Amino acid sequence: MSNASLQPSNTMQPSDTLQLPKPLEDAVLGINRASRRSFLKASGALVITLSIGTLPGTDTLAQEGAAAPAGPYPDPDFLQLDTWIVIHPDNTATFYVGKTDGGQGTGTAYRQMMCDELDIAYDKTHLVMGCTDITPDQGGSGGSDGVERDGMTMRRVAAEARRVLLEMGGERLGAPVEMLAVANGTISLKSDPAKKVTYAELLDGKRFNVALTGRNVDNATGKAAMKPVSDLRVVGQSLKRYDIPGKVDGSLKWAVDMKLPGMVHARNVRPPFAGARLVSIDEKSVADVPGFIRVVSRGNYVAVICEREENAIRAARQLKVEWKRPDTAPFPPSDKLFDYMRTATPTFTSEPRVEGDPAAAFETAKRVLQAEYEVPFQGHTAIGPAHALADPSDGQMTIYSNDMKAYGLRTGVAKFLDMPREKVRVVYMDGPQVYGRTAADDAGFEAAFLAKEVGRPVRVQWMRDEETAWDTKGPPYVFKLRGALDEQGKLTALEYDACAADHAHLGYNEPDTVLVAQLMGRRPERPARGNAEAPSVLYAIPNRRTTTRVVALPMVWETPLRTGNLRDPNGPQVTFAFESFIDELAAAAKADPVQFRLEMLEQAKEDAVFRKARSLATVRAAAKAFGWDTRPSPRPRSAATRGNVLTGRGFAYTYRSNTIAAIAAEVEVNRETGRVWVKRMVCAHDCGLAINPEGLRHTVECGMLHALSRALWEEVQFDNEKVTSVDWISHPSLRHSDTPESVEIVLVNGDPNPNRPDLPHYGAGETSHKPVIAAVANAIYDATGVRLRRPPFRSERVLSALKAAST
Amino acid sequence: MSIVKLKVNGATHEVDVDPSTPLLYVLRNDLDLHGPRFGCGLGQCSVCTVIMDGAAVRSCITPVAAVRGEITTLEGLSKDGKLHPLQQAWIDEQAAQCGYCQNGQIMTAKAFLDRNPNPSDKEILEAMDGALCRCMTYYRVQAAIKRYVRGTKSAAGRQAATGTESESAPAEEFTAAAGTGPLMASTAGEAK
Cross-chain residue pair A237–B180, CB shorter than 8 Å = yes
Name chain B contacts of A693, Cβ cutoff 8 Å.
Answer: 176-178, 184-185
- B116 and B55 co-located in one domain: no
Is residue B186 domain-resident?
no
| CB within 8 Å of chain B, chain A residues 447-466 | 461, 463-464
Q: Is B51 inside any structural domain?
A: yes
Are B149 and B121 members of one domain?
yes
Closest CA to B23 of B76, B61, B79, B69: B61
**CB B78 to CB A249 under 8 A?**
yes
The hierarchical CATH code for the domain A3-250 is: 3.30.365.10
Sign of CA dihedral A336, A339, A343, A344: positive
Task: Please judge whether A694 and B142 are an interchain contact, meaning their C-beta atoms are less than 8 angstroms apart.
Answer: no
The whole-angstrom distance between A404's CA and the closest CA on chain B is 12
- In A486-619, beta strands by DSSP E: 491-500, 543-550
Highest CATH level, class, for A571-804: alpha beta
- In CATH, what number is assigned to the domain containing residue B7? 3.10.20.30
Task: For residue range A730-753, list pLDDT tens digits in order.
Answer: 999 999 999 999 999 999 999 999
CB A128 within 8 Å of CB A744: no
State whether B67 and B103 are in the same domain.
no
Here the CATH number for the domain that contains residue B142 is 1.10.150.120
In-domain check, residue B170: no
> What is the dihedral sign for C-alpha B151, B154, B156, B159?
negative
Choose among B37, B101, B177: nearest Cβ to A238. B177
pLDDT, tens digit, 9 for 90 and up, residues A174-224: 999 999 999 999 999 999 999 999 999 999 989 999 999 999 999 999 999
- Domain shared by B70 and B89, yes or no: no
A266 by DSSP, 3-state: which? strand
Structural domain contains residue B30: yes
Residue B145 lies in a domain: yes
> Is A334-380+472-550 a CATH 1.10.600.10 domain?
no
Does the distance separating the beta carbons of A250 and B33 come in below 8 Å? Answer: yes
Q: How far is A41 from chain B (nearest CA, A)?
A: 25
Q: Which of residues 43-62 of A touch B (CB under 8 A)?
A: none
Residues B94 and B124 in one domain: yes
Position A60 scores a pLDDT of 41
The pLDDT value recorded for residue A354 is: 98
Give the domain ranges of chain A: 3-250, 256-326+386-461, 334-380+472-550, 571-804
Give pLDDT, residue A15. Answer: 33
How much is the pLDDT for A17?
37
Residues of A in contact with B77 (CB under 8 A): 249
Whether residue B51 sits in one domain with residue B17: yes
B155 assigned to some structural domain: yes
Q: How many domains in chain B?
A: 2
Residues B102 and B157 in one domain: yes
Q: Which residues of chain A have pLDDT under 50?
A: 1-20, 27, 30-67
For the purposes of burial, counting CB atoms within 10 Å of the CB of A304, is it exposed (0-12), middle (13-18) or buried (19 or more)?
buried
Q: In what order do the strands lie in the sheet with B49-52?
A: B11-17, B2-8, B71-72, B49-52, B55-58
- Residues B90, B65, single domain; the answer is no
Range of the domain at B45: 2-74
Q: How far is CA B113 from the centre of its chain?
A: 10
Bridge partners, A322 (sequence order): A280
> How far apart, in whole angstroms, are the C-alpha atoms of residue B67 and residue B4?
10
Using a CB-CB cut-off of 8 Å, the residues of chain B touching A232 are 182
> Are A632 and A591 in contact, with CB atoms under 8 Å apart?
yes
Final residue before a domain boundary, out of B39, B74, B109 = B74
**One pLDDT digit (tens) per residue for chain B, 192 residues:** 899 999 999 999 999 999 999 999 999 999 999 999 999 999 999 999 999 999 999 999 999 999 999 999 999 999 998 999 999 999 999 999 999 999 999 999 999 999 999 999 999 999 999 999 999 999 999 999 999 999 998 888 877 776 554 444 433 333 333 333 333 333 333 333
| Partner-chain contact B183 A749, CB within 8 Å | yes
Pick the CATH number of A256-326+386-461 from 2.60.120.10, 3.30.365.10, 3.30.1330.120, 3.30.420.40: 3.30.365.10
**Is B187 a member of any domain?**
no
Task: State the ipTM, two decimals.
Answer: 0.93
| Same-domain status, B110 and B156 | yes
Considering the domain architecture, whether residues B91 and B135 belong to the same structural domain is answered as yes
Q: Which of B81, B106, B80 is nearest to B95 (CA)?
A: B106
Residue B103's SS3 state is: helix
* Residue A121 to residue A99: CA distance in whole angstroms: 22
Q: Give the helix, strand, coil percentages of chain A, each rounded to 5.
A: 30, 20, 45
Indicate whether B177 belongs to any domain. Answer: no
Q: Do A694 and B177 touch (CB under 8 A)?
A: yes
